[in-house]
Structure 1
Amino acid sequence: MGWFSTTSPSTTSPEPSQDGGFIAPDRSARQQCWEGRDAFFQCLDRNNIVDSVKESDKAQKACAPELKAFEGACAESWVTYFKKRRVFEHQKEQTMKKLAAEGAQPLDPATAGSVNAAGAKGR
């Protein structure tokens, strides 16, 4: 069984190569994974679910077909990564909104480097 498979989602694992490494997914396999991820995340959005790990029962109930397709198209490690990244991105977005509401101003990347460099020179 390969990394990306449409069969049993709980048993997807990387396929070993002759030299003991693992065969990387090709472009079409990655595309299928991303499409499965996007469909699952859209379902989560429609059902107001941010963390599909902590709210696994709710996610399973609301998005079972999408979750199955996502898990079947992606390596298990990718599924875990994407689920965690979704939560991280949501928390980051919420933090940015909170800072903006408190009046925080974004740094200009051109001047931020020189400010950091000037501070480091004085040490």
Structure 2
Amino acid sequence: MVRETPTAEERAKCWKSRDAYFECVRENKSSQDKEQICKKFNEQFVADCPPVWVKHFTRRQHWDKYKQEVLSKSKEPSPK
């Protein structure tokens, strides 16, 4: 199986779609309908990026979110 390396334009388009999707998710994080609200951004993200990139960016986003939660908890003073 031969994969073509994405051109600079294709990479830029992918990154722009990725950023738009994750921005939508962040803006609607407290909404129960965030999946529905961000559906068009997700569809564009998936359409513009190679599947392995989508998987990587999504995992990275979850990891970064987890790290922030752990760091924020570790900065809280412990009960005495």
Match of 2:69 among 94, 103, 110: 94
Pair 1:62-2:43 in alignment: no
Q: Structure 1: 5+ residue runs without aligned partners?
A: 1-19, 50-56, 104-123
CA RMSD of aligned residues (A): 2.2
Question: Residue type of the partner of 1:71?
Answer: V
- Is 1:74–2:74 an aligned residue pair? no
Q: Is the 8 A contact 2:25 2:34 kept in 1?
A: no
Q: How many residues align?
A: 77
**TM-score, with normalisation over the residues of structure 1?**
0.55
Higher helix share: 2
d(CA) in 1 for partners of 2:4 and 2:20? Answer: 26
Unaligned runs of 5+ in 2: none
1:44 alignment partner AA: V
Kindly tell me: are residues 76 and 82 of structure 1, through their superposed partners in 2, closer, same or farther at Cα, counting changes over 3 Å?
same
TM-score normalised according to structure 2 size: 0.81
Larger Rg: 1
Off by >3 Å, runs of 4+ in structure 1: none
> Identity rate of aligned residues, in percent?
28
